[in-house]
């Protein structure tokens, strides 16, 4: 009777539909999409979030994934586990690989090369085109690939979730981490190394080596940057430049917008004359608030047009904004 009842339940379409709805196959992208599309679900799982937090994170269902979603997807994949279909395919591929490797081993033994410098695995890799040059490609395609050592540049920009993603890929926790917390721009980035590193590696289990010699900028620029960072309350190392360059920094104080545009355009034109070349090398940078970009650009172009040959001026203004000299 029990077997008959189970058979009837399996054949019942409504029962199958109900069970499938209760245990739908779940993927990481679907999970992230559901959480951000339904703030109430996110609130039930993260009660510490404020209404403003939830409103900031909320987005319509089916929205494109963002770069910040990558560590969330990785975390979700780790929690959900591998897709059974993917596991089955990988198991079949591993079985084929084992059979092929055994065939390669038998072939080497039959030819008397079994004890040579060429192993069955090397022979199989060569036959399949999986030589050493493809190792990086295989690593990029395998989410669970792990490394013996990881080098991280601009590390101050990584969030806590970014670090979790990297730690999973380096069980030995052997890292070379390069960054400058005085330049952190990410809201969730690192502003104190000890706070982030102690959490990741444990207090006393990591070393901090600070840059003390500046080979890039002259002393005048280095000192100016250091004073600015200190005034802003940013942590900086004591840095000594290896060279000095008189007049590499100048300060101009103006009374009004007209004077500001005049000084800026004159300075830009003077620098362009010295450093901007027709072969595309040389760059001049002007940093200003968003509302001044348009008037500053117009003032600089007007000044350049009065000093440069028409062909050179036209070459400069025809450049795309992302690659302007």
- Tell whether 105 and 72 lie within a shared domain: no
| Contacts with 22 (C-beta within 8 Å, 6 or more apart), sequence order | none
* 307 lies in some domain: yes
How would residue 121 be classed by pLDDT, with cut points 50, 70 and 90? low
* 4 lies in some domain: no
* 99 lies in some domain: yes
- Tell whether 126 and 90 lie within a shared domain: yes
- Tell whether 265 and 318 lie within a shared domain: yes
Distance CA 325, CA 320 (A): 10
Residue 249's CB is within 10 A of a number of other CB atoms, namely: 15
* 39 lies in some domain: yes
How would residue 287 be classed by pLDDT, with cut points 50, 70 and 90? very high
- Tell whether 103 and 119 lie within a shared domain: yes
- Tell whether 265 and 316 lie within a shared domain: yes
If one counts the domains in the chain, the total is 5
- Tell whether 137 and 98 lie within a shared domain: yes
Domain that includes residue 105, residue range: 84-141
Instruction: Compute the Cα dihedral for 273, 276, 277, 282 and give only its sign.
Output: positive
Asked if the model's pLDDT at residue 226 lies above 90, the reply is: no
- Tell whether 222 and 169 lie within a shared domain: no
Asked if the model's pLDDT at residue 77 lies above 80, the reply is: yes
Instruction: Compute the Cα dihedral for 178, 180, 186, 187 and give only its sign.
Output: positive
- Weakest mean pLDDT among 58-62, 85-89, 133-137: 133-137
H helix intervals, the chain: 2-11, 13-22, 28-37, 39-45, 51-57, 69-80, 84-110, 120-128, 135-141, 160-168, 193-201, 219-231, 257-275, 293-307, 310-317
Average pLDDT, the chain: 86
Give first-to-last CA distance, the chain, whole Å.
Answer: 84
Domain boundary among 224, 251, 278: 251
261: DSSP letter: H
- Tell whether 297 and 271 lie within a shared domain: yes
* 76 lies in some domain: yes
- Weakest mean pLDDT among 82-96, 104-118, 261-275, 301-315: 104-118
pLDDT in tens, 15-25: 878 777 777 77
Taking CA atoms, 161 is separated from 61, 167, 254, in Å, by: 23, 10, 46
Mean pLDDT of 109-137: 64
- Tell whether 75 and 90 lie within a shared domain: no
Are the CB atoms for 128 and 151 separated by under 8 Å?
A: no
How would residue 179 be classed by pLDDT, with cut points 50, 70 and 90? very high
* 12 lies in some domain: no
Domain boundary among 116, 141, 166: 141
Q: Under DSSP, is residue 240 helix (H, G, I), strand (E, B) or coil?
A: strand
* 193 lies in some domain: yes
How would residue 323 be classed by pLDDT, with cut points 50, 70 and 90? confident
Query: Which tokens is 121 given?
Result: 């695995």
What is the predicted pLDDT for the residue at 114? 55
Classify burial at 97, counting beta carbons within 10 Å of its beta carbon; exposed 0-12, middle 13-18, buried 19 or more. Answer: middle
Domain boundary among 120, 141, 162: 141
pTM (predicted TM-score):
0.68
* 32 lies in some domain: yes
């Amino acid at each position: 009777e029990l077997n008959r009842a189970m058979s009837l339940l399996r054949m019942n379409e409504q029962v199958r539909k109900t069970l499938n709805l209760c245990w739908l196959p779940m993927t990481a992208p679907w999970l992230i999409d559901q959480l951000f599309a339904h703030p109430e679900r996110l609130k039930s799982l993260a009660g510490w979030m404020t209404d403003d937090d939830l409103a900031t994170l909320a987005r319509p269902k089916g929205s494109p994934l963002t770069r910040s979603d990558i560590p969330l997807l990785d975390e979700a994949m780790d929690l959900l586990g591998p897709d059974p279909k993917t596991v089955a395919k990988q198991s079949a591929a591993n079985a084929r690989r084992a059979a092929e490797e055994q065939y390669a081993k038998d072939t080497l033994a039959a030819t008397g090369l079994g004890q040579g410098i060429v192993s069955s695995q090397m022979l199989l890799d060569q036959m399949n085109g999986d030589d050493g040059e493809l190792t990086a490609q295989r690593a990029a395609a395998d989410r669970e690939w792990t490394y013996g050592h990881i080098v991280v540049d601009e590390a101050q920009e990584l969030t806590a979730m970014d670090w979790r993603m990297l730690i999973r890929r380096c069980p030995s926790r052997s890292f070379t981490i390069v960054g400058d917390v005085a330049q952190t721009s990410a809201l969730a980035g690192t502003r104190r190394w000890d706070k982030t590193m102690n959490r990741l590696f444990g207090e006393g289990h990591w070393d901090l080596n600070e840059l003390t010699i500046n080979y890039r900028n002259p002393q005048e620029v280095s000192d100016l940057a250091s004073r600015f960072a200190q005034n802003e309350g940013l942590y900086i190392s004591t840095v000594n430049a290896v060279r000095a360059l008189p007049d590499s920094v100048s300060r101009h104080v103006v009374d009004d917008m007209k004077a500001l545009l005049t000084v800026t355009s004159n300075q830009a034109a003077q620098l362009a004359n010295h450093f901007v070349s027709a072969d595309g090398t040389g760059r001049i940078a002007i940093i200003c608030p968003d509302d001044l970009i348009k008037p500053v650009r117009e003032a600089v172009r007007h000044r350049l047009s009065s000093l440069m040959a028409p062909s050179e001026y036209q070459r400069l203004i025809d450049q795309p904004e992302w690659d302007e000299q």
